Amino acid sequence: MNFRLTSFAAVAGVAPPGLAGCQRADYNRTAGQQLDEAVAKTQQKAAESNETIEQTSREVGQAKGNATDAVANKSRDAAITAAVKTQLVGASSLSLLSINVETSGGRVVLRGSAPTSMARDRATELARAVDGVSAVENELRVQAQT
């Protein structure tokens, strides 16, 4: 009997007690209109999501490019350091064991000691001659070997 009363209330246009406060503003809109609105909202959200994905993709690509550049720069610096050390080993007046070579961004820093001021100057010349070197900072101290 309760079932018939609820069904009758729904057919008569009277909201059952549990739904009395739940009437929506779009109650008078057709199902097609409601569907069109839902589709439009979904398309808008999809477009916003695509924009977010594209922005994130650009940011990831930029970060990847930066990381690749950093690795390439480190590799170039390591190659320059190795080339400078090779040149220093070949110089009879210089000892590789007493000269530390550091490279950053193509800039070479020589630290340690040289037996004479002429050997110190020669180290600078040798380092400058290496391909990729943009500057040489010679911090070698002249110390006569005993």
Q: Is residue 43 in a domain?
A: yes
Provide the pLDDT for residue 7: 47
In this structure, is residue 15 part of a structural domain? no
Q: What is the pLDDT of residue 134?
A: 95
Q: Is 105 left (phi over 0), alpha (psi -120 to 50) or beta?
A: left
pTM comes to 0.56
- Tens of pLDDT along the chain (146 residues) come to 444 444 444 444 544 554 444 455 556 788 888 888 888 888 888 788 778 888 887 887 787 777 777 778 888 999 999 999 988 888 877 765 678 999 999 999 999 988 888 989 999 999 999 999 999 999 999 886 65
| Block residue for tokens 């993709």 | 57
Under 8 Å between Cβ of 124 and 136: yes
CATH number at residue 62: 3.30.300
64 and 117 in contact (C-beta within 8 Å)? no
Domain count, the chain: 1
Q: Is residue 41 part of a domain?
A: yes
- Is position 9 within any domain? no
Q: What is residue 9's predicted lDDT score, i.e. its pLDDT?
A: 45
Residue 7 lies in a domain: no
- So what's the pLDDT on residue 97? 62
What pLDDT is recorded for position 69? Answer: 77
Residue 12 lies in a domain: no
Q: Which domain holds residue 119?
A: 27-142
Distance CA(85)–CA(89), nearest Å, equals 6
What pLDDT, on the 0 to 100 scale, is given for residue 115?
84
Q: What's the rounded Cα separation, in Å, for the pair 7 and 9?
A: 5
How high is the pLDDT of residue 53?
A: 80
The CA distance from 78 to 105, in Å, is 10
* 14 lies in some domain: no
pLDDT at 88: 87
